[in-house]
Structure 1
C-alpha cells in the first residue's frame, strides 16, 4: 500500500481486506429490465466518455482488458444498518443523472446513448454473501461490468467487529478523481443523519452531467480551423512533430498484454517543500509552475531536450452545482516550456505557459484531430504521458480533511490492468511532497520510470537547497551535459 498523503493507494490485486461479513448491492430484476428498454437519447457522450468507450471497444477486440475502474473504500464505526445504507446508495444513484445512461455502438461505429427516464426506477437491493476470501473479493471488484453495460458500478460493505468498510467500484465512464471524496461525503452525511434519527437531509443541489455534455458539444461544434483555440492547439501539435508528447525514455513493447504498476516516492519533506515553494514565489511562479519547471529540467538532464512538451489534466467544472455533480469533468491543458538559464527563469516560463494554456482545456484534443486530420494523437511507443499536480496542503481546510480521512482509513485502488502510458501525480501535502507514477508493468518501463523519478527527485532537492541558482548553464540542444552552480562536477548523461 502506497501512502499518498492521507490516502492509501494500491492495486486491487493487493487488496486483502480484514475478515468480515460481506454485503453486496445488486440491481433489482425490474431495474435491469428498465435499463435494457431505456429509450435512446439525443444527448451525446462527452468527448472523454467517447474516448473511453472507443478505447474499451478497441482493446476488447484484441482480447485485452484496459485499466478502467475507480475503486475506493472508507471505514465507518459501528454496525452497518443495511436498510439505511440501501436507502443512501439508491439516493446517490438517483441523484446523479450520469448513472441513468448506458451506451452502445451502431454498425457505423456511432455511439448511441440510452437513458432511464425515471430515476426512481433505479433500485439496488442488498444481498448477504458472508465471508469472502481475498481472491473472491478481488474477483468481485474486477468483475465490475464494462462501460457498455448500464450497471458498470458496484457497492459493498464489509462488516467487522467494531466498524464496517464501505467499498465502491465505478467504471471511469461516470466519474473522475473528485468522485472519491465527494461520494463518501455524500454517503456518510446521509447515513449519519439517518442513524441520528433526523431522516434524509437535503443535500446541495447537484448539476446535470447531461447538460454538461450538451454544452460541450455545442461549444466544440462551433469551432473551426480558424478558431483561436484550435489554432493554438495546432501550434502545440506542430511544435511537437504533429503529435502529442511521448515519454522520454523507453517503455518496452506497450502493445503486449501487460498489467499496470505503481511507484511512489517522497520528493521533499516539509522543510524542503517550504523552501521549494519560496523559490517558486521568488521566481514569480506558483508551486504548480515549479512542478512543471522541474519536469522540464528533469527531461533536460535525461535527454538534453531544451523544450518540454506537456499535457496535464484539469477539472472542467465551472459552477457550484457541477462541483456537487458526479461525472467525468476533465480537460487537458497543452503547453511547452523552454528550459532557461536558471530554475527561476524556467519556473517563470512554465507558469506563464501553463496559465496561457489553461483556457484550451475546454477544447478536447479529439475535436482538434477531427478538424486537422493530418495530426496524430498517439505518439510512437504508446499513449501520451500525463503529469498532474494536486495541492492538498492549503491550511486550514486540508488539515481538517486530512485528519478526518486518515481516521476513516480512506483507500483508493487501481484495477492493475493494462497501462500503455505513464501517468504521474505530484502531490503537495502539509508534511511532504510526493510523486506517484503508473506505467506498464514490464522491466524496461520499470527501469525507465524509476530512473525518471530519481532524476526528478534530485531536481527538486537541488531547487530546495538553492543549488540551481543563481544560474543553470544550459547547453545546446543535443548535448548532454548539465552544470548546476554549487553542485560539483557536471552530470554526464548516457
Structure 2
C-alpha cells in the first residue's frame, strides 16, 4: 500500500520499473576470505537459530519459506556507480552482522564463522543488462542466496530513462524491518554527499549485533520454568489451547500445498484515522491499543468470545542497539476483554501491550524449551503487524526532505504455506490493511468475510457507523 513517498507491501506486489540492472556482489577474493573465516565464539541470536532451522525443515519438505526483505529507493537521473559502490561497501563494513555466516556441523549444530577484518568485505558491481519488471523482481527476490551462504544479501540499481531504483535484498537472518529507516538514511545521505562533491558523511558509532547475541544468549540461558516472563508466556499459551492464538475462521487444509494470496484495502481515511485516534486517547490508549481492541471486537462477533488474545511483533532494541543492523524483533502477547465498551477495551489493550513489552526479549520458542507441556504454534496463527508511519523513528520517512522526494519501498516476502500475516499501516493520509493468506477457496471466503467485518468495526469506532460491504474487498 503506497501512501505519499512510502510503500509498505509484499514482494509479490512489487512492480519495479524495467531497465538496465547492475548488482553489487562479493568479489572473488572477498568470498574466499569469508569461506576461510574462523569459527566464532559468538552464538547466533535465538531468532537466527529458529530461522535457520525453519529453513532446513521447510526445505526438507519441499516447501517455500518466507525469508527475503527488500528495500527500494527511487532517485532521479543516472546513478553514479562509483559513489554508490563506496556507500554500499561502507555500510557492509560498518555493521558486523554482515561479516558472519552459518553452517551445520556433523551433529547439526549451527556454527557461526566471522570475518575478522571489515576491510576484507568487498562488493563489486556486475552488469546484468536490460530486464523487464518481472525479471527484476525474480532476480532480487528469488536470486538472493539462501541463509546458509555468506552473501545472502544483494545491492543493486535498475537504471531507467529518467531515474534509477536502488534496491537492497537481504535474508531476514541479518535484518528486521525496523532498521529500514536507518538503512535508507545511510544509503541516501551517504550517496548524496558524495555526488555533490562532499566528504563521506560522519555517522554515529554502530553498535555490535555480536554483542547483542552474547547478551541475549546469557539472558535466555538464565531463564528457568519459574522465571516470571516464562510463567507469563505459559499462562497466555494455556489460555489459547497450549500455544499461540488461532485465526477465528477456517483457512483450509494446511497439508495441501498452495500459493499465497494478498488482499489490500483502505481501512480508514485520514479523517477517520484522526477520529479513531481521538477516541483512543480519550480512553487512555494510543492508536495501537485501539487497533488491538478493534480486532478483538471483530473476533468477538465471529466467535462470541469475551476475551481476545493476539500477537504483535515489536522492536527489542535498547539504547545500545539503536544504530545496529540485525534482527531484534520479538513478540508481544495481548489480552483484551471485549465484553464491554470500546473505550474500556482500548485502554485494557494498551495496558496489555505496554506490560507485554517486557516479554519481547523472551522468544516463545525458548519458552517451549522450558515448558514442554505447551505446543508448537499451529498453522495459520495470525500475526498482527502494526506500522505507524506517524511516530518516530518511522515518521522521518515522511518528513525528511530527501526522503519525501525519493519514493521508498519496504517489502516482505510471503511464501510460507502456513503463513497468515496481517499488516495494519498508518500513514499520514490513510490507514491501510494488507493480509497475506493461503490461496485456497476456503481461505478466500474467510478472508473476504473477515476484511469486510474489520472495515465495518474500525469505521464504527472512528465515528462512521455505516456498514462496509464485503463487495468492496480488492484481491491482489
Q: What is the TM-score of this pair, normalised by structure 1?
A: 0.89
How does 1:151-230 map onto structure 2 within 5 Å?
151-230=151-230
- 1:362 maps onto 2:361 in alignment: yes
Match of 1:470 in 2: none
Match of 2:138 in 1: 139
Could you tell me whether the CA contact under 8 Å between 2:3 and 2:429 is conserved in 1?
Answer: no
Match of 2:424 in 1: 426
Match of 2:300 in 1: 300
- 1:387 maps onto 2:384 in alignment: yes
Match of 2:2 in 1: 3
- 1:317 maps onto 2:317 in alignment: yes
How far does residue 184 in structure 1 lie from its aligned partner after superposition?
1.6
Distance in 2 of aligned mates of 1:13 and 1:391: 22
Aligned residues: 465
Match of 1:27 in 2: 26
User: After the TM superposition, which of the residue ranges 307-316 and 252-261 deviates more from structure 2?
Assistant: 252-261
SS in structure 2 at match of 1:131: strand
Match of 2:448 in 1: 450
How far does residue 437 in structure 1 lie from its aligned partner after superposition?
1.5
Match of 2:63 in 1: 64
How far does residue 440 in structure 1 lie from its aligned partner after superposition?
1.9
User: After the TM superposition, which of the residue ranges 383-392 and 406-415 deviates more from structure 2?
Assistant: 406-415
How far does residue 15 in structure 1 lie from its aligned partner after superposition?
4.3
Residues 1:271 and 1:139: Cα distance change in structure 2 (over 3 Å):
closer
Residues 1:13 and 1:394: Cα distance change in structure 2 (over 3 Å):
closer
Could you tell me whether the CA contact under 8 Å between 1:257 and 1:418 is conserved in 2?
Answer: no
Match of 2:123 in 1: 124
SS in structure 1 at match of 2:248: coil
Distance in 2 of aligned mates of 1:399 and 1:169: 19
Residues 1:400 and 1:432: Cα distance change in structure 2 (over 3 Å):
closer
- 1:264 maps onto 2:264 in alignment: yes
Residues 1:5 and 1:18: Cα distance change in structure 2 (over 3 Å):
closer
Could you tell me whether the CA contact under 8 Å between 2:3 and 2:427 is conserved in 1?
Answer: no
Q: What is the root-mean-square deviation of aligned Cα atoms in Å?
A: 2.1
Distance in 2 of aligned mates of 1:355 and 1:94: 36
How far does residue 412 in structure 1 lie from its aligned partner after superposition?
3.0
How far does residue 54 in structure 1 lie from its aligned partner after superposition?
0.8
What are structure 2's unaligned runs of at least 5 residues? Answer: 468-476
Per-residue CA deviation, residues 377-401 of structure 1 (Å, 9 max, x unaligned), is 212xx04211122222259955853
Per-residue CA deviation, residues 49-104 of structure 1 (Å, 9 max, x unaligned), is 11111110001111122111001211112221111111111111111111111111
Distance in 2 of aligned mates of 1:275 and 1:182: 31
Residues 1:9 and 1:397: Cα distance change in structure 2 (over 3 Å):
closer
What are structure 1's unaligned runs of at least 5 residues? Answer: 468-485, 488-494
SS in structure 2 at match of 1:170: strand
Distance in 2 of aligned mates of 1:416 and 1:227: 35
Distance in 2 of aligned mates of 1:368 and 1:249: 27
Match of 2:471 in 1: none
Could you tell me whether the CA contact under 8 Å between 2:208 and 2:321 is conserved in 1?
Answer: yes
Distance in 2 of aligned mates of 1:255 and 1:185: 43
Distance in 1 of aligned mates of 2:10 and 2:222: 41
Could you tell me whether the CA contact under 8 Å between 1:394 and 1:430 is conserved in 2?
Answer: no
Match of 1:37 in 2: 36
Match of 1:18 in 2: 17
Match of 1:53 in 2: 52
How far does residue 236 in structure 1 lie from its aligned partner after superposition?
0.8
Distance in 2 of aligned mates of 1:127 and 1:332: 39
Distance in 2 of aligned mates of 1:241 and 1:400: 42
Distance in 2 of aligned mates of 1:171 and 1:11: 14
How does 1:88-99 map onto structure 2 within 5 Å?
88-99=87-98
Residues 1:392 and 1:135: Cα distance change in structure 2 (over 3 Å):
closer
Distance in 2 of aligned mates of 1:464 and 1:420: 33
SS in structure 2 at match of 1:40: coil
Per-residue CA deviation, residues 184-207 of structure 1 (Å, 9 max, x unaligned), is 210111111111222222211110
SS in structure 2 at match of 1:243: coil
Could you tell me whether the CA contact under 8 Å between 2:225 and 2:371 is conserved in 1?
Answer: yes
Whichever of the two has the greater Rg, that structure is 1
Match of 2:103 in 1: 104
Residues 1:317 and 1:160: Cα distance change in structure 2 (over 3 Å):
same
Could you tell me whether the CA contact under 8 Å between 1:10 and 1:262 is conserved in 2?
Answer: no
SS in structure 2 at match of 1:257: coil
How does 1:396-411 map onto structure 2 within 5 Å?
400-401=398-399, 404-411=402-409
Match of 1:253 in 2: 253
Distance in 1 of aligned mates of 2:44 and 2:123: 25
How does 1:276-295 map onto structure 2 within 5 Å?
276-295=276-295
Could you tell me whether the CA contact under 8 Å between 1:259 and 1:416 is conserved in 2?
Answer: no
Per-residue CA deviation, residues 197-243 of structure 1 (Å, 9 max, x unaligned), is 22222211110111111111111111111111111111111121211
Distance in 2 of aligned mates of 1:125 and 1:393: 37
Distance in 1 of aligned mates of 2:390 and 2:398: 11
Distance in 1 of aligned mates of 2:170 and 2:317: 20
